[in-house]
Chain A
Amino acid sequence: MSFLKHTPLAWLNLTHDRRRLLTSLGGVAFAVLLIFMFNGFKNALYDSQVQLLQLLNADIIIINTQKNNMFVPEPFARRRLYQARAFDGVEDAYPLYINTANWKNAETRTTRPIRVLAFNPQDSVLRIPEVQSQVSKLQAPETVLVDLQSRPELGPITPGVETELGDRRVRVVGNYSLGTDFASGNGNLIMSDQNYLRYFSQVNPEDEERDLSTADIGLVKVAEGADAERIAATLSENLPKDVKVLTLEGFVQQEFTYWQENTNIGFVFSLLTAMAFIVGVILVYQILYTDVSDHWAEYATLKAMGYRNFFLLGVVLQEATILSLLGFIPGFCISVLLYNATADATGLLMRMTVDRALSTLVATFVMCLISGAIAVRKVQATDPAEVFG
């Protein structure tokens, strides 16, 4: 326990001037906040794209071979699902139908396109408790559940509201919470497959007619304990090549990769995060440099007493570590508050996860180490004779 016997020099240096310590921590906290915000926006834009997919109640997904992202409206023949049911280990397979229709705001009478998710109310398609408890209400004709996180432009969406969907009467019978993404900018409606036929089997010449013989996403459940990956491989091998078979994880990954490769989201926010990191290095350097300047004489005395440069380096690096830890905490707390505020204001999916928090903590630590390493050069170059000369 030689550590405890030493005077905690780094700590005493930092706490020497309380007010300066507070400003320093404020500086680190804001650098942390910047990194968290830019990273948070990036993750939110990506996470939003896959949140619906992650809630699908399936182990294996069957889609049209051409559907390499949710924007591709290519359906596949529903009989592929019946074929899939015949395979060993497959417990059930059911279709999800997806389409877009114009929703009329009941107050302003303006319309907005909205994405419609339709399925047989008997099938448990979405892992959203509010949906599962309300599906029975969807059996009545011309009824829908509306996402509470839809854009406000949709107007009133409380149960009982009557308006128009694709020039046809529609009644809201319930709500649930999901959120928007790029493919459904305004929100999502949920209806039964029978109602889906009512809205989409006869449409304007500008739109494509749909019925239940083709599905957009096929959900496959495997028997308990069965190996989903192996079954997916078997299905992929044996089903005709007009469909693609993926594990749910693979399906989510496909969508994620599409957005990574086809948008500048990653580029924009990685650049901003990198700049926030540099700002943090400058901030912390400023703090440590001032501290080193102020205690120059003391450092020189230590050197004259025989302490090695290595020891002084240790002190400055300890200060850097303390600063990064103490600054991270308030930075993290403010970020969580701002994440919530942003989510409320925009509907963006701002998620703070343990590994995101940890990676930012590591970044903060590295940031402080870099600054410490630069600031310490001044101490190492210290010549006791010069300082007191």
Chain B
Amino acid sequence: MRTPLAWLNLLHERTRLLVAIAGVAFAVLLIFMNLGFLGALSLTATQIYSQMNAEIFLRSPQTLEISTTEPFPIERLYQVAGVEGVDQVMPVYVGYQQWRNPETRLNRAMFVYGINPRDPVFRLPELQDSEAIAALQRPDTVLIDQLSRPEFGPQTTGIETESDRRRVEIGGQFTLGGGFASDGTLIVGDQNFLRLFSPRTLDRIDLGLIKLQPGANIEAVAETLRGMLPEDVEVLTQEEIIGRDRDFWIGTTSTGFIFSMGVAVSFIVGTVIVYQILYTDISDHLPEYATLKAMGYRSRYLFQVVLQEAVILAVMGYIPGLILSLGLYELATNATNGGLPMAMNFGRLVFVLILTIVMCAVSGLVSVRKVITADPAEVFS
């Protein structure tokens, strides 16, 4: 068995090794945090669609995202209802209202969904019971999202306040979350939507939900719909509509750019840290490396030793970095009251591990030149 030279070199000076690992761990942590923030923002921007009870969505091609919609005729939804594989179609109306906090009397923009009370538009269990449906049917009654910001005021059932200067009563609560478009959400019955948003009408809808029969082929039905519907509506599967909204928000708010830049800069800093460690190590052991060369070891062997050191550093830094980030993910989620749902996923784990190994390998390759060019005669002269 060979002497584990890379391992022994690193272990030679414990304190330095610890600092090196800490350096790599923090670079890894920074990369994880940047990716985590980006992921959390993408998730909040689109989680509304995964709460909707539909496989296929209809919306105007001019619609940018859930809150900047262009209404389209409800006939498009009726046209779809008869297609094979379609179980149910449901219209959704959206808009903003100025909601008055009943305590402070201050207004704040509230996002409102208008639905037919009997349609199972949202998967939320709170909306399925008869009490919630009855509340949606009562005039001037609204359901309020418990995740709305505290600035909107108390949310107890029975509280009366004003929405766009119209008197409304809170008829119940649900838990949904608003995403980028809003920090407060209401759900109202379509008749109440008409009252609140007069002079809007119900024959122009903002979003069409299409629920398929169990076992229906989503892609095939979507394709059929694309073939039969005119160009004033777009047919999107759930995955597609989530992708569209996410791309819109990530682009508009420059979040994509900012956090990718964060990852890039953290990567470079990590590379510098590892380079410094390997460089110091090589300088300190230059006579030994030269001796090895004089003994007949090839440059390739020395090359391998340095690369091995790099990979060991990568893995040893990655593990504490990962553990720290999991802790910080939890902390950030709690500190923002769920506003930033930071969650780790397998793809990110692998991606960052590869990134860390590349980071260390690049540093290894840069620092190894000194060994390769080492001339035994010169070192000992």
Contact = CB atoms under 8 A, between A and B. Distances in A.
A348 B262 contact: no
21 contacts: A23-B275, A30-B272, A33-B269, A37-B262, A110-B62, A206-B95, A206-B197, A262-B149, A272-B262, A275-B29, A275-B30, A279-B27, A279-B30, A279-B269, A283-B272, A286-B16, A290-B280, A293-B13, A338-B261, A346-B254, A348-B258
Nearest to B108: A72
A113 B64 contact: yes
Interface in A88-134: 102, 110-113
A72 B272 contact: no
Given A23-B275, A286-B20, A290-B16, A267 B262 contact: no
A347 B29 CA distance: 28
Interface stretch (B134-142, B169-177, B332-340): B332-340
B254 A348 contact: yes
Contacts of A271: 33, 328, 332
B266 interface: yes
A102 B61 CA distance: 13
Interface in B312-363: 328, 332, 335-336, 339-340
A145 interface: no
Contacts of A272: 30, 33-34, 37, 262
A345 B254 CA distance: 9
A74 B149 CA distance: 20
B276 interface: yes
A376 interface: no
User: Interface extent on B, as a size class?
Assistant: 35 or more
A71 interface: yes
Interface in A156-209: 182, 185-186, 205-206
A102 B254 contact: no
A305 to B, nearest CB: 26
A110 B61 CA distance: 8
Nearest to A291: B280
A68 B106 contact: yes
Given A275-B26, A286-B23, A290-B16, A66 B106 contact: yes
A206 B336 CA distance: 34
B273 A27 contact: yes
Given A20-B283, A37-B261, A267-B336, A111 B23 contact: no
Given A262-B149, A286-B276, A346-B257, A72 B262 contact: no
Interface in B10-51: 13, 15-16, 19-20, 22-23, 26-27, 29-30, 33-34, 37
Contacts of B261: 37, 41, 338, 342
Contacts of A102: 62, 70
B235 interface: no
Interface of A: 17, 19-20, 23-24, 26-27, 30-31, 33-34, 37-38, 41, 66, 68, 71-74, 102, 110-113, 151, 182, 185-186, 205-206, 262, 264, 267-268, 271-272, 275-276, 278-279, 282-283, 285-287, 289-290, 293, 338, 342, 345-348
A40 to B, nearest CB: 10
Given A20-B279, A264-B339, A267-B336, A72 B266 contact: no
Given A71-B109, A346-B254, A111 B183 contact: no
Given A74-B107, A102-B70, A275-B29, 9 more contacts: A33-B269, A71-B109, A111-B70, A267-B335, A267-B336, A279-B27, A283-B269, A286-B277, A290-B16
Contacts of B335: 267
B265 A27 contact: no
B252 interface: yes
B70 A283 contact: no
Closest 9 CB pairs of A and B: A346-B254, A66-B107, A205-B199, A279-B26, A30-B269, A185-B252, A282-B23, A41-B258, A205-B200
B201 interface: yes
B193 to A, nearest CB: 12
Contacts of A17: 283
B64 A112 contact: yes
Contact of B276 (A264, A279, A283): A283
Interface of B: 13, 15-16, 19-20, 22-23, 26-27, 29-30, 33-34, 37, 61-62, 64, 68, 70-71, 95, 98, 106-109, 149, 151, 183, 197, 199-201, 204, 252-254, 257-258, 261-262, 265-266, 268-269, 272-273, 275-277, 279-280, 283, 328, 332, 335-336, 339-340
A343 to B, nearest CB: 11
Contacts of A34: 30, 265-266, 269
Interface of B is mostly: helix
A372 to B, nearest CB: 14
A286 B107 contact: no
A201 to B, nearest CB: 15
Contacts of A264: 336, 339-340
A358 B269 CA distance: 22
Contacts of B70: 102, 111
A27 B254 CA distance: 28
A33 B272 contact: no
B82 to A, nearest CB: 28
Given A275-B29, A290-B16, A262 B252 contact: no
Given A27-B273, A287-B276, A33 B29 contact: no
A268 B40 CA distance: 11
Contacts of A74: 98, 107
A265 to B, nearest CB: 10
B68 A30 contact: no
Given A71-B109, A102-B62, A37 B272 contact: no
A110 B244 CA distance: 15
B71 A206 contact: yes
Contacts of A20: 279-280, 283
Contacts of B149: 262
Nearest to A71: B109
